[in-house]
Amino acid sequence: MKHQTPVSTGHKFVDTGFIIILAIAFISATLVWIQKGQNVFWTILVENIQFGLALLPKIICGVFLACVIPLMLPREKVQRWIGPESGFRGLWAAALAGIAIPGGPSVTLPLAGGLMIAGADLAAGITMVTAWALLSVNRTLIWEMSFLPPHLVLLRVGMTFAVPVMLGWMVRRLQLGQERAP
C-alpha cells in the first residue's frame, strides 16, 4: 500500500479564537475570584482541570481519527460519495453518517474535518455535523425517548429531518455563486 503524506491543515495553537477564549476565561475567573472568593475559584479550577483530563483521551482519539481518515480513504471515492459533484445523494449520505455517529463533538467534528481533508466538500461537512446535532440516533433514542413523549420526539425529528440537507444544498449554491463571481 502506498503511503500518503499527511495534509497540513495550517492550524496554529495560539490563534485569534484561542486568544478570545483565553481572555473570556481570564475575565470570568477574575470576576469569580472577586465576587465569590478564592475558595470557589480554586474549586471550579480543579473540577475543570479534572474534566479536561477526562476528555483528553477522547480528544486525542478524535484528532487521530481526523489525521488518519485522509490517509486511509481513497480521495476519488470520498469525492464521488460526498464531494462537490455528489449532488443530493452525497448530502443525504453525509446526513445519514451524521445521524449514525454515536459519539459527541470530540468524535464528530474531527471525523467531519478528516472527511473534508479526504475529499468531502464543505457542504457535506456541514450536513454531517448538522445531522449529528439535530438527529443523532444516540441522543434521540437514549435521551429524548427516555424523557419526552414519543409524539413530541417524532414531531421534532420530522420537522428537522431535511434541515441538514437543505443547509448543505445552500452551502453548495453559495460556493457555486462564488466560483462564478469575477
Crossing angle (nearest 10°) for helices 75-82 and 87-100? 100
Q: How confident is the model at residue 158 (pLDDT cuts 50, 70, 90)?
A: very high
Q: What is the mean pLDDT of residues 102-118?
A: 89
Q: What is the mean pLDDT of residues 3-15?
A: 63
Whose grid coordinates read 456541514? 126
pLDDT of residue 8: 55
Q: Is the pLDDT of residue 2 over 80?
A: no
